[in-house]
Each structure stands twice: as C-alpha cells, then as structure tokens.
Chain A
Amino acid sequence: MNNEDEQNAHVELRQLFEKAGEEPSDLQVARMLGKARAIPTAALERRPRWVWLPVGASAVLAAAAAGFWVLDMRGVQAGAEVGAQAAGVLPEGTEHDVGERATPNALRVVGAGPATSEEAEALGEAAQVLNGPGFAEADEVALGAEHNWATTDAEASLLLVGDNADDAELGSGMGAEDLYGPLSEEDVDWWMLATNELLGGG
C-alpha cells in the first residue's frame, strides 16, 4: 500500500467510522461536563489508603500492648491467689518440712532404691508422707501434707512407686530395673532389708 492508497484507505475508513459512530448530543455533553466538574473535589476528598496506614499500625500496636498488659496482670493475680490458697491450707512450717522430708527420699524410692539403712529408715517416713490421695504429681506434695500424716501403711507407700512410675517428671532418669526391683545380688540384699523394715519385720 503506497502513500496514496493509505490516504484513500484513511478517508474511506474515517467515513465508515463516522457513519458507524455516534456523536454525543448537546444534552449528553452538558451532563458529562457537570460530572467532570465534580471530579477534582471528589478525588481530593477521597484520601489514598496509605494515608491511614500509620494510624492503623499505631492502633494495632496499642491494642497488642494493652492485651499483653492485661494478660500479665491476670498472671500476677492468679499467682497471688494460688499463694494465698496454699498459705491458708497449710499449717505454718509444714510446707518446708514436707518439702525437705518428702522430695529427696521419694525420688530415691522411684529411682535407684535406698543406699543405706538410715536411708531405708527415712524411706519409711517418706512413704508415710507421700501416702496421700493428692499425690499424683510432685508439685502436689505440698498440698498432700494435709492428708494422712499419721498413717503408716507400708503397702500403700510401696504401691506409690508403681503409681508414680507413669509420671513423666518422676520417671525421668528411670531404667527398667527401677520398675521391676534390684538386678544385682547386692541390690537384692538392699531391697530385702528395706522391704523388711518397711513391713515392720525388722
């Protein structure tokens, strides 16, 4: 298509486009003008979204800080309540006593077994101390102080070893032999001695 052809094509197509197109009426132009006049004000009134970003971010941070503060305060209150409860339940001096007496020996019972006759004796005391229905976890030793301090039920205290074998905290460091008794002959002697003492056989 040379220059002249292109000119002709342009003229022909323009005529076609005019025939097939539509000019706006005066009314339509006036309407569009009216709408055009409103565009700048509308566009300037509408703030872009990023303008609100710092405000939104500050609000989120403030809400998060408030949330943390509330959780923190609840934790402090709960701790205080538990402390008050514990203090109210236990007689004065008991908590320390129980902790001192029960914990090391109780762990020994579950763990490797008594090492000396003195310890075996102490084991008897510890077994008495731990003979409480509340003694499901080591943390509850202190709360268990109110139960059955005077009872000397050796069987129950021995059962305690089996009951607590499932406990993950107390069971940590346990081997299979801890569950089924001593394996070496020396340990068997030990075990017999301790068991006799516990059962009152002397």
Chain B
Amino acid sequence: MHVMTLPNRSLAFSEYRGNSEGSVPLEQELILRALQGDGHAFASLVGPHLPLLYRIAQRACGSSALAEDAVQETLALAFKKLGSYEAGTSLKAFLGAIAARQALTLLRSERRRRRREEATVGPEPTANPAEQLTAQRLAERVREALAQMPKKRQQVALLRLDANLSYLEIAQATGTTEGSARVLVHLVLKELKEKLSDVISE
C-alpha cells in the first residue's frame, strides 16, 4: 500500500484559499496526523474552509471579533469530533454543520442582547428606510429574519446561502436524506423571500 508522505510544514496561505477539495488519501493522512497532535496538519485540513466558517459565525453574531472567537470554538469542537468524520465525505459539510449549530446559539444570545438593549435604551427612531439600509442594517434584517425561523430551517439557510452547500451536503450535515434536504431548502427559501421581500426588491 502506498503511503503518502507529507511535508512537515503548513501550507502557504494561497494554497489554503485555492485548494478546498483535497484528495481522499491526503485528507485521511492529514486527519490521522491531526489526531496525533499535529497542528500543521489540522490547519491544512480546515484552512480552506475558514472563510466559510467565518461567514456563518459573522452572520449569526454580527461582530467580527465575536465571529473569530466563534470560529475558534467551532474548530475546537471539530477537532474533538474529527474521529467520527469519514474521510471522503464532505469536510465542508462536516465543518459547516458544526458552525451552523454554533451559530444558532450565537443567534439566540444576540437576540436576547438586542432585546435587553431595546428595553433599556428604546428603539431607534426610524427615519428614511432607504437611507438606513446600509450593509449593517441589511445584516440585521437578515439576522432577524433568520432568528424568527425554526432551528432546523436556520441551520439549512446558513448552509445553503452562506456555505453554498449542495442538497447532498446539507443532508449529510443535518442528518437527513437528500430528498428531505431538498424540501427543507425549498421551504427555507420561500419563507426567507417572504420575510425579506422589501429588502430584495430594492
């Protein structure tokens, strides 16, 4: 059996961004080495997916500093569960699922924090809606719309629209069949479109 030897160095930054789909033996080797405590191997594994994890976390908490911490927590959790990951299935879906679950917690706490702030300060005065729809306001609207949905749908929305996972990958990440994932995505898109129709039309 041919055993692939890996250089004992972390990959260059450009390599992380460009090569998101590694071959199965390479991935297997990296997982084994990571489980033995090789930090470089772990970084090589998760590196290509960091932007995705960051997007999901940032969508949920709305703060870049918090998002970085959330990514760190997601990676720590992913390392714990790495033994249960089957090489060859989608690592993107594996990490995305963990990130989405983490994001739900973040969304909940963010919502609670906003309620508390509104209770003490009071709602901001609404001026011209067109002026207020900056990227930040837009992000808040999306977050609010997500927070009003059931958990499973929130997760699917993040996996489909932020992580851009396929139906099969969403099925793997959420532990359902591809058919169920397809139906879920359909329902999620419909609901989100209704909730954000005013923002989409602009």
8 smallest A-B Cβ distances: which pairs? Answer: A37-B39, A20-B138, A24-B54, A20-B139, A9-B189, A37-B43, A17-B161, A44-B37
A43 and B77 CA atoms in complex are apart in Å by: 10
Residues of B within 8 A of A13 (CB): 161, 189, 192-193, 196, 200
* B47 pairs with A33, CB closer than 8 A: yes
A29 and B192 CA atoms in complex are apart in Å by: 30
Residues of B within 8 A of A1 (CB): 186, 189-190
* A6 pairs with B47, CB closer than 8 A: no
A41 and B79 CA atoms in complex are apart in Å by: 11
- Of B37, B59, B161, the residue contacting A41 (CB under 8 A) is B37
Stretch touching chain A among B64-72, B104-112, B114-122, B124-132: B64-72
A33 and B17 CA atoms in complex are apart in Å by: 12
Residues of A within 8 A of B35 (CB): 40
CB distance from A68 to the nearest CB of B (A): 42
Known interface pairs A24-B50, A37-B43; 10 further A-B residue pairs with C-beta atoms within 8 A, sorted by A's residue number: A1-B190, A10-B160, A13-B192, A13-B200, A24-B55, A26-B13, A32-B50, A33-B50, A36-B46, A39-B75
A24 and B71 CA atoms in complex are apart in Å by: 11
Known: A43-B76, A43-B80. A24 touches B142 (CB 8 A): no
Q: Footprint of A on B, CB under 8 Å? A: 10, 13, 16-17, 34-43, 46-47, 50-51, 54-55, 58-59, 64, 67-68, 71-72, 75-76, 79-80, 135, 138-139, 141-142, 160-162, 164, 186, 189-190, 192-193, 196, 199-200
Q: Is A23 engaged at the interface, CB distance under 8 Å to the other chain?
A: yes
* A36 pairs with B42, CB closer than 8 A: yes
Which among B43, B67, B68 has the highest number of chain A CB atoms within 10 Å? B43
* B193 pairs with A40, CB closer than 8 A: no
A39 and B80 CA atoms in complex are apart in Å by: 10
Residues of A within 8 A of B68 (CB): 28, 31-32
Which among B34, B190, B193 has the highest number of chain A CB atoms within 10 Å? B193
Q: Is A96 engaged at the interface, CB distance under 8 Å to the other chain?
A: no
Residues of B within 8 A of A16 (CB): 138, 142, 196, 199-200
Residues of A within 8 A of B200 (CB): 12-13, 16
Tell me the count of chain A residues lying within 8 A, CB to CB, of chain B.
31
- Of B17, B42, B139, B199, the residue contacting A40 (CB under 8 A) is B42
Residues of A within 8 A of B192 (CB): 9, 13
- Of B50, B54, B59, B161, the residue contacting A14 (CB under 8 A) is B161
* B142 pairs with A17, CB closer than 8 A: yes
Q: Is A183 engaged at the interface, CB distance under 8 Å to the other chain?
A: no
A31 and B58 CA atoms in complex are apart in Å by: 16
Name the residue of chain B whose CB is nearest to the CB of A37: B39
Known: A10-B189, A21-B59, A28-B68. A40 touches B34 (CB 8 A): yes
A36 and B80 CA atoms in complex are apart in Å by: 13
Name the residue of chain A whose CB is nearest to the CB of B139: A20
Q: Is A47 engaged at the interface, CB distance under 8 Å to the other chain?
A: no
A35 and B165 CA atoms in complex are apart in Å by: 25
A35 and B67 CA atoms in complex are apart in Å by: 14
CB distance from A51 to the nearest CB of B (A): 15
* B139 pairs with A9, CB closer than 8 A: no
* A6 pairs with B13, CB closer than 8 A: no
* B186 pairs with A36, CB closer than 8 A: no
